[in-house]
Amino acid sequence: MKQRIRSASTNEGIPISVSIGPTLEAANDNKKRGVNSLRLLYICSLAVINALLVGIIAKVMVYLIGLVTSVSFYGTVSGGDTSPAENHLGIWVILVPVFGGIIVGLMARYGSRAIRGHGIPEAMEQVLTNESKIKPIVTLLKPLSAAVSIGTGGPFGAEGPIIAAGGAFGSLTGQLLHITASERKILLSAGATAGMSAIFGSPVAAIMLAIELLLFEFSPRSVIPVALACITGDACHLFFFGAMPMFSMPDIPSPDQFHLILYILIGAVVGVCSVGVTKIVYLTENLFEKLPIHWMWWPAIGGIAVGIVGYFAPSTMGVGYTNISAILSGNLALNMLLTLCILKFISWCIALGSGTSGGTLAPLFTIGGATGALIVIGLDKIFPSLGLSPSIAGLIGMAAMFSGASRAFITSVIFALETTGQPHLLLPLLGGCAAAYCISYLMMKSTIMTEKIEKRGVHTPDSLVPDILNALNVQDILKEEINVFDSGDTVEQLRRYVGQESENDLYNTFAIIEDKEDGSLSFSGIIRMQQLFSQQYKGNELLANIAMKPPVVLTETDSLQEAVDSMLTYKLPVIPVVNNRKERQLAGIITYRDIMESYRIKEHESLERKRAISLRREGRKLRIRMRRWVNHNID
């Protein structure tokens, strides 16, 4: 690194070695060694506390769903695990979801419109567009509206609303404490996935859900708080709901190689179905948007469909976790599987399209599991000797449907394993979910989680890629030469010097140094070009008197992410850089423009690599065509 000290009065330049003062270095050491670690511990503590409260919210919401269900369908007051399937209301059952839809519509109209929808897409949108800020009222209204919607027969699971409520609670904590947008995103994701873990007892799947659908990154600063929150949520599940797997399955041996291939093909078929399910859901939403009435009444219209389907098939109403367990048992009759596959889908699709408060996970699991079991039953009728298991097919269908519809591939596999306690079925799950994921990627641009927000112009990442800021160090973008000036020069002298030099030879920021009594040179501060030509200075001021001393310095080995964090934390446009902490010699100055330029260069390099690969492929094709042409003419 070449450094030169210039005198504004003589315009001379000589190589130098400048020391950073102990005050700045001590402040920077404190930041590097202590503040970051304490900050991570602080965020982890908030995530765990939030997860405890979200676990309580999950238990309260499940109790409220049971309470509303018992009051609506049986006229009793009970907060236990109550299903509407055994009601004796007859034709009057149609009115119950309608009344529930009216209440939800009123809550959305006069409370917050954010309570409408699936839960996860709304959280994703706030992460991507609104610095993870969710209205505080959503924390209260989302569980209440979901309890009313599901308790009056809505064909949803409790997990979507609790994910939305947990995310809102984490976001609220972040807004009250005035932390950074990145930290607020972590708390939102931690709260959301802690809710999922509290409902299902699936902490690892919840962590992967955060990474694949909310965080879009895998780094210690984000994964550690989310992991601790999900573990806490799982502890709440153990305390409130017990230690048994969420969905019980009979003991089934691992499939052999031949059956493994068939189960993978079943996953592919379910993947095609997941594409159709996603497209029909959003087609239904579009049809509701064309209705000539206010959206507040749409949930009531959806409630009519729920009530009519529920009159003929009461098992389609409510949470339906028992339906999933029944599918995985392998003992459901054909007519019941058709009911859960077709009628459940119709009821859920119309209700979700109406914009009521509900979720997608449990209905997708139910529809996918029933589809997988139906495929096996059909194959067994045609080829009785195949010996496929309806239970395994139901599990593959359940996970593959979610994998294809959401493209949360790893989440789908781990969720199926955690909620059933069947680790020996890992291979068929991996194969089936991978097949569904591939089919979905080839046939569908967006997913059931991203279609709505992409229509609003919000881009959602479709891959986890290395962050340029973490991939580059400060030394990678430092200039070869910096302009360093003496503190004894005046503002007018520096102005004249700047006027004589070419713009290409100047940096937007100048480092100021001063002579010490022992003859060494010490860093005094920085002066920006804009500051230099400010009208508040007459010209006779010494540079030492107007130089700004930044509260922090960087080393050459620090990442650009650390540089950006320091700039945002201390609101600095530039930060001095030292060679290392022991020698404390000034190596240069880094500005936000340098970081932006590094982005542009990296993007250009990536584009050039893609072009080079494309040219090599075209060249290879051309050589093949030429070889064929030559061989043809020789023959």
List, for residues 343-387, the tens digit of each pLDDT value.
Answer: 999 999 999 888 887 778 888 999 999 999 999 999 988 888 888
Asked whether residue 396 falls in the same domain as residue 306, the answer is yes
pLDDT of 15: 47
Task: List the one residue out of 157, 147, 192 whose CA is nearest residue 172.
Answer: 192
Q: What percent of the chain has pLDDT over 70?
A: 79
Check which CATH number belongs to the domain holding 379 and give it: 1.10.3080.10
CA distance 169 to 155: 25
The bridge status of strand 574-578 relative to strand 554-555 is parallel
Asked whether residue 186 falls in the same domain as residue 110, the answer is yes
Phi/psi-derived region of residue 387, left when phi > 0, alpha when psi is between -120 and 50, beta in every other case: left
pLDDT of 594: 77
Asked whether residue 189 falls in the same domain as residue 322, the answer is yes
Whether 313 has a pLDDT exceeding 50, the answer reads yes
Contacts for 82 with CB less than 8 Å, ≥ 6 apart: 66, 69, 70, 73, 74
Listed residues 420, 439, 455: the one ending a domain: 455
Maximum mean pLDDT: which of 59-63, 359-363, 400-404? 400-404
Asked whether residue 420 falls in the same domain as residue 546, the answer is no
Q: How confident is the model at residue 24 (pLDDT cuts 50, 70, 90)?
A: very low
Asked whether residue 423 falls in the same domain as residue 513, the answer is no
| Three-class secondary structure of residue 577 per DSSP | strand
Q: What is the mean pLDDT of residues 510-538?
A: 74
| Domain presence at residue 473 | no
Listed residues 420, 455, 490: the one ending a domain: 455
| Domain presence at residue 608 | no
CA distance 559 to 566: 11
Asked whether residue 188 falls in the same domain as residue 171, the answer is yes
- Tokens 């599991």, located at residue: 369
**What is the phi/psi pair of residue 518, to 5°?**
-85, 5
pLDDT of 492: 84
pLDDT of 140: 80
| Domain presence at residue 600 | no
Whether 536 has a pLDDT exceeding 70, the answer reads yes
Asked whether residue 13 falls in the same domain as residue 38, the answer is no
Listed residues 455, 472, 504: the one ending a domain: 455
What token pair was written down for 140?
């209260």
Task: List the one residue out of 421, 401, 332, 300 whose CA is nearest residue 360.
Answer: 401
| Domain presence at residue 429 | yes
Q: What percent of the chain has pLDDT over 90?
A: 26
| Domain presence at residue 343 | yes
Asked whether residue 349 falls in the same domain as residue 304, the answer is yes
pLDDT of 319: 81
Pair 160, 199: CB distance under 8 Å:
no
Asked whether residue 27 falls in the same domain as residue 46, the answer is no
pLDDT digits (tens, 9 = 90+) for 148-206: 888 898 888 777 778 878 888 888 888 888 777 788 888 888 988 998 899 889 999 99
Whether 138 has a pLDDT exceeding 60, the answer reads yes
CA distance 279 to 445: 11
Buried b (16+ CB within 10 A) or exposed e, 521-534: bbbbbbbbeebbee
Asked whether residue 95 falls in the same domain as residue 120, the answer is yes
- Does the global pTM surpass 0.75? no
| Domain presence at residue 329 | yes
The residue among 239 and 538 whose pLDDT is bigger is: 239
Contacts for 464 with CB less than 8 Å, ≥ 6 apart: 211, 212, 216, 217, 218
Check which CATH number belongs to the domain holding 557 and give it: 3.10.580.10
**Mean pLDDT score across all residues of the chain:** 80
Q: What is the mean pLDDT of residues 455-479?
A: 70
pLDDT of 622: 52
CA distance 101 to 158: 17
What token pair was written down for 631?
């061989």
User: What is the number of domains present in the chain?
Assistant: 2
Asked whether residue 394 falls in the same domain as residue 490, the answer is no
Q: What is the mean pLDDT of residues 413-427?
A: 91
Q: What is the mean pLDDT of residues 109-115?
A: 81
CA distance 158 to 240: 15
Whether 526 has a pLDDT exceeding 90, the answer reads no
Asked whether residue 430 falls in the same domain as residue 530, the answer is no
- Residue 134 belongs to what domain range? 34-455
The residue among 375 and 471 whose pLDDT is bigger is: 375
pLDDT of 33: 46
| Domain presence at residue 633 | no
Least confident of 23-32, 320-329, 498-507: 23-32
| Domain presence at residue 471 | no
